[in-house]
Amino acid sequence: MAGKQGKDLALSMLRTLPRVCLNNIRDNPGAKKPSHRGRGQHGGDKHGAGNKGSGQRQNFMRTGYETGNTPFYLRFSREPYYKGHHLRREYPPLSLQQLQMFIDTNRLDVSKPIDLASLLNTGLYNIKLEWKHAGVHLTDEGAECFKAKINIEVQWASEPVIAVIERNGGTITTAYYDPHCLFALKDADKFFTSGEPIPRRMLPPTDCLEYYTSAATRGYLANPEEISYERLVLSQKYGYEVPKIEDDPNYEMLIQRKDPRQLFYGLEPGWVISLKDKAILKPKAEYLKEFYTS
């Protein structure tokens, strides 16, 4: 009888008492001990902060502090060579071999002029404005395998590159783009979607004005007659015959140039492009026309 009553008592307790779960159990007394050190225990009263100085006070040292030594920027004198180094423009390289690959894989159309916008649209060439990139630097790597006849506009090119382009019957122009225009060129779809008018291109700064006005570098501000003379001089220097562009069936395409204020081929500064409506909004006020064409 005692056993039967004990079983009934246990079953009645299970029916009435709550079930054992994680929120109603606790550790045995003394099982968990505090992790911190008490004051004055274990032979020290520093609480892990150490002796004296900023380590004890936990005010962390500033970046570049050399714990009492003479700092680096005071120990060595100023280097004038690096003055303004972070503001210098950079031109990411694009070789002639890569350019020929873009043409062979139909990423570039040689029947139309090639500029920075068309190179960025390939998806294989990119510029980073936060790194002070200012455009394309066309290099002579792969000059022996470049055979295309193109009309290209870049931002920097050396003399051998110009000779290779003109030896094949093409034309090359070096042109400057200010940072505001580079922002519009980097992602044209995003810029047109923003609804902003196409900016006018600013003139080059004084440190590169000589480069873009020189006929030897095929600057876009140079005299066309001087460019014709420099084409002949360069052909005599490198030993090839200058092809007559006037007799070429693609003559109109090869001589096509942008206006010094123009950003996109076929689009004028001040126009607003609506990709959603597939429409072009042109300014009608006279002061706006004068501003964008001046």
Provide the CA 116 distance to its chain's centre, in angstroms: 13
Confidence at 40, pLDDT banded by 50, 70, 90? low
Confidence at 154, pLDDT banded by 50, 70, 90? very high
- Please report the pLDDT score of residue 39 as a whole number: 56
C-alpha angle 195-184-258 in degrees, rounded to nearest 5: 110
Task: Tell me the pLDDT tens digit for each residue of 95-128.
Answer: 999 999 999 999 999 999 999 999 999 988 999 9
Task: Tell me the pLDDT tens digit for each residue of 228-261.
Answer: 999 999 999 998 888 888 888 888 988 899 999 9
Q: What is the mean pLDDT of residues 173-186?
A: 92
Confidence at 7, pLDDT banded by 50, 70, 90? confident
- Please report the pLDDT score of residue 20 as a whole number: 77
Taking the model in full, what pTM does it have? Answer: 0.70
Q: Give 29: exposed, middle or buried? Use CB within 10 Å, 0-12, 13-18, 19+.
A: exposed
Lowest mean per-residue pLDDT among 16-20, 67-71, 132-136: 16-20
